[in-house]
Amino acid sequence: MTFYTVHHSTVYRYRRPVKLGQHQMLFRPRDSFDQRLLDCRLVVRPQPAEVRWIHDVFGNCLTLINFNTNAETLEFETTIRLEHTPENSPDFRIEEYAREHPFTYDECELPDLAPYIRRQFPDDPSIEDWLSRFIELGQIQPTGRLLMTLNEAIAESFSYQRRISRGTQTPAETLRFQQGTCRDFALLMIEAARSLGFAARFITGYVYVPDRDGPVRLGGGSTHAWCSIYVPGSGWVEFDPTNGIVGNRELIRVGVARTPNQAVPLSGSYWGESDDEAGMEVAVNVKSE
């Protein structure tokens, strides 16, 4: 069992005072068997007019923040502390019917899994072209080994490149550039898994990066992203293709969604000109106790 404290700071700067619109935050983890939230704090400057909490369509906890003021600087500081139970190795206890791929999900679960099987980019042939380089498509093969191979292929074949700009690359762009962010790699794995008939979903959260000892982790210093794939008998199994992690080791799950644009850690609006934006600063620090 491990205890983590996550401090996340985001500062927006403007060249002149702008009228602040509503902002939406996704930073509060949901309690589960593998992580338990112990403390959660939020500080916003300037003082908001209203802060309220809701659950989105996926059950994630969203924070909605409204303002009635103009400002040149907008700052969000969040601190969470949680108890985390790491999995030392992937636990592929797979139902007999799903031990070899391809297989069909149980008809009782299929209606609920269908949205996560449906591809986001169905007309893009680059996924199959890429998969055919290291997977014998259409051939019977062990399900667990197939998923491990897919995760490792992304971790070993692409270069991590931190990007400040908004949005996520399409899988075709990631394959063409041979580099991307953790969100890009997560989307690539999701789309590849869906092309093979798996149900897959996007996860946003944090990764613990040890200062000393242990393996080097990519994606630290900001929010992190990975994915989970539904494996009959094991449920939603987490895969971090950026670091080649299988399971929840050193991963702090905050929100899950069907697509990356449904799980943005922080978004909002303001009234002003496009050139009013003077920059954004993000700092994330994850400490282990």
Q: What would be the CATH architecture of the domain defined by 96-261?
A: Roll (3.10)
Closest CA relative to residue 234, chosen from 93, 74, 62: 93
Tens place of pLDDT per residue across the chain (289 aa): 899 999 999 999 999 999 999 999 999 998 999 999 999 999 999 999 999 999 999 999 999 999 999 999 999 999 999 999 987 666 778 999 999 999 999 999 999 999 999 999 998 899 999 999 999 888 999 999 999 999 999 999 999 988 766 789 999 999 999 999 999 999 999 999 999 999 999 999 999 987 533 344 455 568 999 999 999 999 999 999 999 999 998 999 999 999 999 999 999 999 999 899 999 999 999 999 8
DSSP H/E element including 233: none
Enumerate the domain spans of the chain. Answer: 2-84+264-288, 96-261
Query: Which residues have a Cβ under 8 Å from the Cβ of 68 and sit 6 or more positions away?
Result: 49
Burial status of residue 260 (CB atoms within 10 A of its CB: 0-12, 13-18, 19 or more): buried
pTM beyond 0.85: the answer is yes
Residue 262 three-state SS: helix
In degrees, to the nearest 5, what angle opens at C-alpha 221 toward C-alphas 216 and 226? 70
DSSP 116: H
SS3 98: helix
Tokens representing 47 are 């003082």
Asked, colleague to colleague, whether 2-84+264-288 and 96-261 share their fold, the answer is: no
Matching CATH number, 2-84+264-288, of 2.40.100.20, 2.60.40.2250, 3.20.20.70, 2.60.40.10 = 2.60.40.2250
From CA 38, how far away is CA 252, in angstroms rounded? 13
